[in-house]
Amino acid sequence: MKTIVAKTAAAVILMAATLSAHAQKFDDKGIARTETVRRDVDGKNEAIQVRVDFAHNAAFPKHSHPGIEIAYVLSGSVEYEMDGKTIRLQAGESLYIPAGAVHSARNVGTGVSAELATYLVEKNQPIVILDK
């Protein structure tokens, strides 16, 4: 597992460097999701990276994932709510989100904000599960 996390962290750094200029196509909530990598890890799990762009004041509602997530802020400022805590990250900062942890994210910056979300999840499962 340590090797998987180390390889995933290296991929995050590489993807952050290559995704600095990106054209967004926002949905009606002001969110643009662009999958950048999907790779089998061990036959049962896969690593997935998704660039998430947030329009000014846009928010992604409470949700969880069937595996871990590492969120790395590429630009702007993103505020996360998880376990009753508010965590504000600036570009260059990251957050570990445990499997199944209900959380939300919103752009609290002055313009468009973006994160690179890296997931290590069981194959053939939905990446995002909206909270009821």
pLDDT given at position 7: 57
* pTM over cut 0.85: no
* pLDDT of 78 strictly over 60: yes
The alpha carbons of the chain give a radius of gyration, in whole angstroms, of: 14
Question: Cβ distance 24 to 32 under 8 Å?
Answer: yes
Q: Which domains does the chain have, with CATH numbers?
A: 2-130 (2.60.120.10)
Q: Which helix (H) or strand (E) holds 52?
A: strand 45-54
The answer, yes or no, to whether residue 70 has pLDDT greater than 90, is: yes
Q: Is pLDDT above 80 for 104?
A: yes
C-beta separation of 37 from 48 below 8 A: yes
